[in-house]
Amino acid sequence: MAAGAGGLLAAALLLVVAGPRPAPAELTDGNSEHLKREHSLMKPYQGAGSAAMPLWDFQGSTMVTSQYVRLTPDERSREGSIWNRVPCFLKDWELHVHFKIHGAGKKNLHGDGLALWYTQERLVPGPVFGSKDNFHGLAIFLDTYPNDEATERVFPYISAMVNNGSLTYDHSKDGRWTELAGCTADLRNQNHDTFLAIRYSRGRLTVMTDVEDKNEWKNCIDIAGVQLPTGYFFGASAGTGDLSDNHDIISMKLFQLMVEHPLEDESVDWTKIEPSVSLLKSPKDNVDDPTGNFRSGPLTGWKVFLLLLCALLGIIVCAVVGAVVFQKRQERNKRFY
């Protein structure tokens, strides 16, 4: 594995004792005064139906209409993406995405899904929902098809991944080895609007959904210790394989968060930060349950060996302590004779 993988995986492998879970982050109400139009995609789309859009580039099967940006049609083996041309230099931001995933396929006969990106690379096609693998930055996957037949996870499933270019997304396991957190969300073939919000502020990543037609955000992902640089690009991509769906983006709205930072942050070059996550349990030590949450995985060979070694050392220590105590008692009893 590349040398860069050591730092990222070492950080992920730190086992910590979880404290009280932080309260769900309150999302902005979408006040237009914080809206960053240079990073937002909204109707009416300028350049709809043409090969060019101000501030946005698209490729592959992407089609821009007056009502939506269709990344893939409901056809097999299609890939498409749309990317903001302007790098984002905000340290604290919130992205609201209005999307629709729909098609003629019935249960488990549709795919593959949609990805939302904040990455160094842009407009690079690849195998990860129509975009590049081994990317630098953040990806949020809206996966609609379970490739791992042994999984107990309920799909569609939303997951987060942070990468410094050294990690590979494993489609056969639905990205479980590199997933930071995730949740199940019934977001496909809905007759109402479906939304997702991604919030990044002071090292905390929060993902929330509004897919139940309740006009309220539901917590999905909440992770502290996430480091993302500035100067990356926002984008969205989708891909189909043997199964297919329409993957539509209706809008992407980016809001600036007005957050105070410590004085020492002023000396940091945020463009030079490497994407990373700290104080996290390794995803490889987890298996999923039907709710989408993690529980401890089965004991592997090395874990059993460590447990037996600890037990043996414990027995030896107890035996030594017992022998010392017994000897001292014997010496004390001899003094009385």
CATH number, residue 55:
2.60.120.200
**What's the pLDDT tens digit per position in 2-21?**
445 455 444 443 333 334 44
Radius of gyration of the chain (CA): 25
Residues 6+ apart with CB under 8 A from 248: 68, 69, 70, 71, 99, 100, 101, 102
Q: Supply φ then ψ for residue 302, to 5 degrees.
A: -70, -30
In a domain, 311, yes or no: no
Can you give the residue range of the structural domain that contains 200? 35-277
Name the percent of the chain lying above pLDDT 70.
77
Stated pTM of the model: 0.76
Amino acid at 132: K
Supply the pLDDT for residue 314. 83
CA 180 to chain centroid, in Å, comes to 6
Statement: residue 196 has pLDDT above 70: yes
The answer to whether position 88 is within a domain reads yes
- Asked if residue 104 is part of any domain, the answer here is yes
Q: For the chain, what is the domain count?
A: 1
In a domain, 115, yes or no: yes
* Mean pLDDT (the chain, rounded): 84
255 is a domain residue: yes
Residue 21 belongs to a domain: no
Instruction: Cis check for the bond before 265: say yes or no (omega within 30 of 0).
Output: no
pLDDT given for residue 26 in this prediction: 57
| The pLDDT of residue 152 | 84
pLDDT tens for 232-290 read 999 999 999 999 999 999 999 999 999 998 998 889 999 999 999 985 454 444 444 44
Does residue 337 form part of some domain? Answer: no
CB–CB of 186/170 below 8 Å?
A: no
Domain annotation covers residue 15:
no
Residue 214 to residue 279: CA distance in whole angstroms: 34
Query: Tens digit of pLDDT for each residue in 316-336?
Result: 888 888 777 777 766 655 544
